Amino acid sequence: MPDAVSGAAERLTSFRVLFHSEGLDGVIVPRSDEYLGEYVPACAERLAWISEFTGSAGLAIILDTRAAVFSDGRYITQMDEQIDGALWDRLHITETPPGNWLAAHAPQDAKIGYDPKVISQAVLDTLAAPDISLVPTTRNLIDVIWSDRPSAPMAPAIVHSLEFAGENSKAKRAALAERLIREDQDAVVINDTTSVAWLLNIRGTDVPCTPVVLSSALLYRDARVDLFIASGKITDEVRSWLGADVTVRLPDSLPETLANLSGKTVVVDRANTPVWFTQMLKTSGATVVEASDPCALPRATKNLVEQEGARKAHLRDAVAVCKFLHWLETHAIGSTELDAAAQLKAFRSEAPGFREESFETISAAGPNGAIMHYRVTPKSNRSIGADTVYLVDSGGQYVDGTTDITRTIWTGPGLPSKELQAAFTRVLKGNLRLGRAVFPVGIAGHALDSLARFSLWQARLDFDHGTGHGVGSYLSVHEGPQRISKAFSPVALAPGMILSNEPGYYRPGSFGIRLETLLLISEPETGPDGKQFLSFEILTFAPFDKRLVDPDILGDEDAALLNSYHADVLAAVGPHLPHDVSSWLAHACSPINRK
């Protein structure tokens, strides 16, 4: 992160002087930009600049004499390593909700500032506290002192052809417009860049790992769209592709356009849209209806073209991953985490249609694997030694699909400990059982979550992250609204959705285990009583490391599932590999024996 003020303490001091001059007692700094996406451009890494925490989810509250950063269970270890505990409280966002911390530490009648363009109403609601006023600022105060802040990205939008999209934008817009008409609504704000990309069949390169172009839109009940995007980002080709019903406007014209909706009924997603939109619309005299992003569910339920694209992308990705796993057999010991990540990316780069990684590869040896979202740097880079647990979580963005896979590897040549084998096997059992689940239509992901945890729970073990997230079609690798998690979800799983299946176990200071495959929900089948049931098609093909399996804990039923999966891997991937890699894969996929 670039430094405008030298040192973390100096940055905090300068920031406190600034917000006091604005009449504020504190400021909220979320880890988000104007589009509230998971990945943000360098110019929007405000939380990282002020706190040095680089996780993809978090929020800071800075008061006069105390400050705190909050994140979820994926990042607790990372926060402890990156954030200066003398300057910041480092807190689990569920165990210590930010609103509770603010109520406990802010002075009475405090005025706490926030930039309404980078925070949602849903997040603001969690920060409400008695005798505290949340005050919108007219500018982002971090930007005021971040003098060497990077420029905004200016790459052009890209056409996403029907060969990969499977449905034209006109049809998508018409379907959503019909919904507006049924609900007697006039327009909907679409601020999620992945929703804009899906709706208009465009992509971009504005943020790392997610092929979107920074933009927002208004969709009207007559299926017209106003697209708000920086000047120069729409080429003649893209303008022609968008068609006459899409009007390209500059972001500076948003206030005037929203003011013109006076007297109209406008839909806003309170969780995924900056609160600024609601404030502007209400000031303009519009009626605001809070509802979910109408693009989210149809975007999540992939059409047949997108489903087939996912299969093809995953097969090409499997070839790259299997080449990498073979490379580990001969090159892991003595290489480093950075070496391995670079080699995996090189193998993926050979695949047709590969564009970029779908997230920065988690290449983690030994204790680094216990950091759930570890990001290797030259400073943290560990050598991969003999008899080491190595965790690699990675994915690719292909023009026809998005991939995400995690494997945990034993480097040898010795044998892993029984304790390690036991934990790995219980994680594997969870992955196998969830992947083969059959469940009634209408079931949401929380109802399946315990399938992935059951074996771990029997050993009094667990993991502090969700079991499964949605995955886009050449879009975000973390896509909603579907998920598999302990937390309740109101969204029923439906045919065409793609989800991850990634149970894990983490021993801080020692090792991490995660095993991830992607699943496509198949079309329903009718049971003997007439009830319809869904199941998963496994998209990911790469072997699990049998050296880490305890056959007795695995058991006969799960051994059969593992052998069946490995047979599928060998049949699907083997013919596309060089002879030496294919021979290695045959051995890696050979049946596991139980005596």
- The arithmetic mean of pLDDT across residues 275-285, rounded, is 97
Give CA–CA dist 360/417, Å, rounded: 30
CA atoms within 13 A on the CB side of 10: 7
Q: Is 119 helix (H, G, I), strand (E, B) or coil?
A: coil
Tokens 């003020």 found at: 5
| DSSP string computed for 524-588 | PEE-TTS-EEEEEEE-------GGG--HHHHHHHHHHHHHHHHHHHHHHHGGGS-HHHHHHHHHH
Q: Which of 51, 61, 73 is nearest to 98 (CA)?
A: 61
For residue 238, how far is the Cα from the chain centroid? 27
Q: Is the pLDDT of residue 5 over 50?
A: no
Which phi and psi angles does 488 have, rounded to 5°?
-60, 140
Looking at domain 158-295, its CATH class is alpha beta
- Is 158-295 in the same CATH topology as 8-145? yes
Please tell me the distance from the alpha carbon of residue 548 to that of residue 464, in angstroms, as a whole number: 22
Q: How far is the C-alpha of 534 from the C-alpha of 526, rounded, in Å?
A: 9
Mean pLDDT of 45-70: 94
- Spelled out in words, what is the top-level CATH class assigned to the domain 301-587? alpha beta
- pLDDT of 6 > 60? The answer is no
Q: What is the pLDDT of residues 104-118, one digit of tens each?
A: 999 999 999 999 999
> Whole-prediction pTM value?
0.94
Residue 211 clears pLDDT 90, i.e. is over it = yes
What CATH number matches the domain at 8-145, 3.40.350.10, 3.90.650.10, 3.30.465.10, 3.30.750.200?
3.40.350.10
Asked if residues 161 and 237 have their Cβ atoms less than 8 Å apart, the reply is no
Closest CA to 566 of 432, 466, 437: 432
pLDDT band for position 594 (50/70/90)? low
Across all residues in the chain, what is the average pLDDT?
Answer: 96
Tokens for 316, please give them. 């090409």
Three-class secondary structure of residue 196 per DSSP: helix
The identity of residue 595, as a single letter, is K
Residues 6+ apart with CB under 8 A from 419: none
Instruction: Flag whether pLDDT at 517 surpasses 60.
Output: yes
The residue ranges of every structural domain in the chain are 8-145, 158-295, 301-587
| Highest mean pLDDT (candidates 34-43, 83-92, 466-475) | 466-475
End-to-end CA distance of the chain: 55
Is there a contact between 43 and 152 (Cβ–Cβ < 8 Å)? Answer: yes
Please state, in angstroms and rounded to a whole number, the distance separating the CA atoms of residues 189 and 273: 8
pLDDT above 90 covers a percentage of the chain that reads: 94
pLDDT of 2 above 50? no
Mean local confidence (pLDDT), 427-453: 98
